[in-house]
Amino acid sequence: MADSAGIQQGSPAIGAAGLVPAAPGAGGTEGSGAAGGSARIAVKKAQLRSSPRPKKLEKLGVYSSCKAEGACKCNGWKSQNPPPTPPRTDQQSSAVNLQEPCRSCSHTLGDHVTHLENVSEEEMNRLLGIVLDVEYLYTCVHKEEDADTKQVYFSLFKLLRKSILQMGKPMLEAQESPPFEKPSIEQGVNNFVQYKFSHLPSKERQTIMELAKMFLNQINYWQLETPSQRRQRVPNDDAAGYKANYTRWLCYCNVPQFCDSLPRYETTQIFGRTLLRSVFTVMRKQLLEQARQEKDKLPPEKRTLILTHFPKFLSMLEEEVYSHSSPIWSQDFLAGASGGQIPIHTVISAPPVARPLYYSTSPVSIDPSTCGSVSPARKTASVLEPNPVGEKRKPSEPLPHEENKRPRVVGDIPMDLINEVMATITDPAAIPETSLLSAHSARDEAARLEERRGVIEFHVIGNSLNQKPNKRILMWLVGLQNVFSHQLPRMPKEYITRLVFDPSVKHKTLSLIKDGRVIGGICFRMFPSQGFTEIVFCAVTSNEQVKGYGTHLMNHLKEYHIKHEILNFLTYADEYAIGYFKKQGFSKDIKVPKAKYVGYIKDYEGATLMGCELNPSIPYTEFSVIIKKQKEIIKKLIERKQAQIRKVYPGLSCFKEGVRQIPIESIPGIRETGWKPVGKGKELKDPDQLYSTLKTILQHVKSHQNAWPFMEPVKKTEAPGYYQVIRFPMDLKTMSERLKSRYYTTRKLFMADMQRIFTNCREYNPPESEYYKCANLLEKFFYTKIKEAGLIEK
């Protein structure tokens, strides 16, 4: 894969030698042969256009009708010594004299070009470009073995020949003009990305967009199999329909890559689902097979992307391509209730040039913020109102807090190690599978996976008398009323109905839909002026409980409110619901001032008021995934630290002798693991006494025989690259200056700087080095002096 740009699906009839590229004839690879063929043609055109004007006239005369008196019908000058058939387009033709007679009509070559005497240089260059395209197509016609393809080449050959004779622009005559199907493949993939992945964090969403661009690029330079080949492979397929698309593809996409006198379109922009269905299965199989065969040639940074994420991306897209009910192919995918089309922001555009399967970037600029406008839930409610009533949840739109996030502080852990560990845990193959029934799996893990597969979806809906009734929303509201009534038997049905069908739209409901029916929901009322929302009802139908739906439902509600900048929930929970709300972060400690909610929310007899404060920095629907990754990071760091400890110490035998307790620091090898005493010693409150004590300790350390490597800052000339590895350097000279300036107001500041000296040394130097050993010995001596001074417990 490192040597070619992809895999071709077309006929192997013609190789990519000379000017015959991979596309018309489908030989070679889509990136190497195709790009090479078009490049050679472009070079020949540039050479011809830079020729002297008489030379250009000679070339054009071969394709120009005779203008001699007597109404000569010769349509092109023919040499007395014709070249071989087909002509060798990779060789320069012999010089031709304008006075040389035509083999057909006997008139001179000059008689064939009289109409070009006053033509501008620009127009002549345009005609010369068509001439080379004609010669190229002539070669293709003679070499092509497939009858359908040969017929298309010949038709285009005649079209361009006619354009030269009439000095016009080549215009394809067809019953239909591009685009041939809506939505296009490009728009469908855009819809798919928004439909399935808008809930992801921005970094992961960017990865998906890169995969989508990669896929679109492959389609734009994919070589379609000929109709005859397809009939042999799929006998029962719509042969006539495929042949029509194949012909269009040749005329508008494939041949114009090399014959630039013809208008060119991207395959992904003028074809839609029909063509994609005809090529997707074979294309997916061949792409993945080549990726597996050439995995060792892939750049390391792209290996996980292509070998792990790309197959999953294609599998999910395949479901939508062949599904009869997929919403991504609906032209009103983002339509509002009024029927007007909401402008669709393109998140992906196909790259304009052929690239390898593992290309890293596209020249197309992408605004990640436009990729979070649609929920990952199935877009069946495409006619929902554009206002909050009935709107589709948009969990991944940029949150107000994101611009103000503070930079992550890594501390003393090297960035290279962090990146290496992150690459490991990002690779799903390196993460042990967690069963959904495992004690270690998150409560909402199963629900989150179902949402990604489109099994369940979430909608915020409400009843409005100001808009045209929506049948789907009304059916969902009825379903919600039934779920709440059945699961909350002590609540009056009339009261539930009144709030669920609240015509003033003060009450809304986040509905959970599965297989088109309501299985749960949360009814709530927002009080923006007071800064909180009251949760009125919360229920999931009994046969769908214990699947994590309740947790995932609440997480969606939290993200919905963060988007609307309301960061507090209040609810009255009965004795059966208190446990659930505690798991969702609610407590009896109400953060909202009482004056804010008294008189606004309803009191329920026998219920407990509970509140929840939202953190806008937390992506709640992905929170358990983040925690899982953090655990993996810590686990990997511990494993790496343990791997660095080569010495094995004998076990502790003192307990067998009756000893009940020993100091932690006396455990053999404990310090080598990175453990440090907590240091609960006394804190000297007198600044002068603290200064005197620290000065004495520092003087002892500087006088130690192993202190010589740390006396002054490290010089760049002595340790190249040191300051690229060590971001927070420290030395004893700097500490002396800090002590003198009374920087150390507490013992912890002093101990932190000293510890940094030892940590930096061990990070930069190998364990067998003299510096590493000096750091260990001096550290031991330092903590001895600290204990003697009473700054930490002995």
246 in a known ligand binding site = no
Q: Assess contact for 275 and 172: CB atoms under 8 A.
A: no
Residue owning tokens 């350097």: 729
| CA 84 and chain centroid, separation | 53
Rounded Cα–Cα distance for residues 429 and 421 (Å): 14
Instruction: Enter the DSSP assignment of 444.
Output: T
721 in a known ligand binding site = no
CA atoms within 13 A on the CB side of 778: 31
| CA 280 and chain centroid, separation | 20
Q: Where are the alpha helices (DSSP H) in 656-712?
A: 687-703
Rounded Cα–Cα distance for residues 406 and 413 (Å): 18
Closest by alpha carbon to 554, among 621, 483, 601? 621
- Is 501 exposed, middle or buried, given 0-12, 13-18 or 19+ CB atoms closer than 10 A? middle
Strand (E) or helix (H) holding 524: strand 517-527
548 in a known ligand binding site = yes
Closest by alpha carbon to 359, among 210, 207, 222? 210
Residue owning tokens 């361009």: 160
Q: For residue 40, what are its two tokens?
A: 């050679």
List, in sequence order, every beta strand (DSSP E) within 243-338.
Answer: none
Residue owning tokens 């929902």: 384
579 in a known ligand binding site = yes
For the CA atoms of 215, 220, 221, 225, what is the dihedral angle to 10 degrees?
Answer: 100
Closest by alpha carbon to 216, among 301, 312, 308, 317? 317
673 in a known ligand binding site = no
Q: For residue 439, what are its two tokens?
A: 């004690």
| CA 495 and chain centroid, separation | 46
Paired strand residues for 525 = 507, 534
Q: Distances from the Cα of 6 to the Cαs of 33, 220, 515, in angstroms?
A: 11, 11, 39
Non-local CB neighbours of 639 within 8 Å, separated by 6+ positions: none
Q: For residue 685, what are its two tokens?
A: 């409150």
Q: Where are the alpha helices (DSSP H) in 414-492?
A: 415-426, 445-453, 471-487
670 in a known ligand binding site = no
Rounded Cα–Cα distance for residues 106 and 474 (Å): 85
538 in a known ligand binding site = yes
577 in a known ligand binding site = yes
546 in a known ligand binding site = yes
Rounded Cα–Cα distance for residues 499 and 426 (Å): 45
Rounded Cα–Cα distance for residues 552 and 669 (Å): 45
Question: What is the SS3 assignment for 304?
Answer: helix
Rounded Cα–Cα distance for residues 249 and 255 (Å): 8
**Three-state SS annotation for 160-204:** HHHHHHHCCCCCCCCCCCCCCCCCCHHHHHHHHHHHHHCCCCHHH
Residue owning tokens 């240091």: 679
Rounded Cα–Cα distance for residues 24 and 226 (Å): 11
Q: Is 534 a catalytic residue?
A: yes
Strand (E) or helix (H) holding 535: strand 532-540
Give the CA radius of gyration of the chain.
37
347 in a known ligand binding site = no
550 in a known ligand binding site = yes
Given the residues 210, 225, 445, 534, the one annotated as active site: 534
Beta strand 608-613 with 568-573 is: antiparallel
Sheet containing 507-514: give its strands across: 456-461, 507-514, 517-527, 532-540, 568-573, 608-613
Residue 264, phi then psi, degrees to nearest 5: -115, 140
600 in a known ligand binding site = no
Active site residues per annotation: 534
Instruction: Mark the binding-site residues, compressed into ranges.
Output: 538-540, 545-551, 576-579
Instruction: Mark the binding-site residues for acetyl-CoA, compressed into ranges.
Output: 538-540, 545-551, 576-579
